[in-house]
Amino acid sequence: MNTINLSNRGIYDLIAVRSKAYLDLIKVRLSLLVTFSAAFGFILGDAATFFSWGSFFGLVAGGFLITGASGAANEILERDYDKLMKRTRTRPLPMNILSVREAYWFTLIIAFLGISLLWYFTNMITMSLGVLSMILYVFVYTPLKRVGPIAVLVGAIPGAMPPLLGWTAATGSISYEALIIFGIQFIWQFPHFWAIAWVGDEDYKKAGFKLLPSGGKKDLNTAIQIMIYTLFLLPLGLLPTYFGFTGLNSGVIATVCGVLFLAQTFSLMKDCSRKSALRIMFGSFLYLPIVQIAYLLDKV
């Protein structure tokens, strides 16, 4: 009896370890955040019409899967570099918890399922944008990370796609409203990426990743660029109110959040410290969901 229990426990432990490895491979927390942005775009675009649960399900499930596939493909391509960095050396591939072959097949399967769900439940525009986002992230952004800070510009495009995908899934078209919510998330990517790159600079250098502007330096010039892009969020955050597809309340919230976010950049300009960059990083994590939720509440 004890032998059977030990054997079962070993099987359960193995299943738990491998399940966690697959969740880590698809960067599940990041994939959920991306899916939230896509759902935001869908609800915002669909608020004036009859809510389509089928399209919403297809967007959320398909979007989650293609985001997970993109993250997994990124880990496959960067597996040797991940071994060099403290924050990534415990990922499934560097630790040999999963084989590269297993990761390849898993990535292909979930990518196919994600694309199929978008095609079946939404529309051709949404599916095409989803595929474009995967291609840019995996085959352009990922290798460019070792070339220079242009990677941040390229990476900001798939990074800003989720609300656009949500809007097109709901409406079947790319309108000026869709471009506005895309633009907000696109500009947000720059202070977000650069703050992360500043905080993780030592680790990134071990892998040869070059994401910071100004020649990769953690200096006043980089801090000023972070400030400028954060400043752009103030007028951009008011555009949904200006064009009337959200109300005044969300405009006020977006402005307050933008001012608080901007204030953090002045601290970085003053001392160029890792602590100030860390505040900007966490501020970026708070800014986007708060503003998007405000838009939704003001719309519905």
DSSP 8-state assignment for residue 139: I
Same domain, 179 and 129: no
Q: Please tell me the least confidently modeled range out of 14-18, 58-62, 201-205.
A: 14-18
Last residue of a domain, one of 174, 190, 215: 174
Same domain, 55 and 159: yes
In angstroms, the CA 228 to CA 165 distance is: 27
C-beta neighbour count of 51 within 10 angstroms: 11
Same domain, 160 and 255: no
Same domain, 261 and 162: no
Last residue of a domain, one of 174, 199, 224: 174
Write out pLDDT tens, residues 152-182. Answer: 999 999 999 999 999 999 999 999 999 999 9
Same domain, 147 and 225: no
Range of the domain at 257: 175-300
Last residue of a domain, one of 142, 174, 206: 174
Residue 7 confidence (pLDDT): 62
Same domain, 110 and 257: no
Residue type (1 letter), 95: M
Same domain, 156 and 97: yes
More confident site: 12 or 147: 147
pLDDT at 251 over 90: yes
Same domain, 179 and 165: no
**Distinct helix (H) and strand (E) counts, the chain:** 14, 0
Same domain, 14 and 162: yes
Which pLDDT band, with edges at 50, 70 and 90, does 49 fall under?
low
Same domain, 235 and 163: no
Same domain, 100 and 237: no
Residue 203 confidence (pLDDT): 92
Q: What is the mean pLDDT of residues 200-208?
A: 93
State the sign of the Cα–Cα–Cα–Cα dihedral 179, 294, 156, 226.
Answer: positive
Residue 1 confidence (pLDDT): 46
CATH of the domain at 67: 1.10.357.140
Same domain, 158 and 236: no
How many domains is the chain partitioned into structurally? 2
In angstroms, the CA 25 to CA 73 distance is: 9
In angstroms, the CA 115 to CA 127 distance is: 6
Closest C-alpha among 138, 117, 137 to residue 127: 117
Write out pLDDT tens, residues 83-140. Answer: 999 999 999 999 999 999 999 999 999 999 999 999 999 999 999 999 999 999 999 9
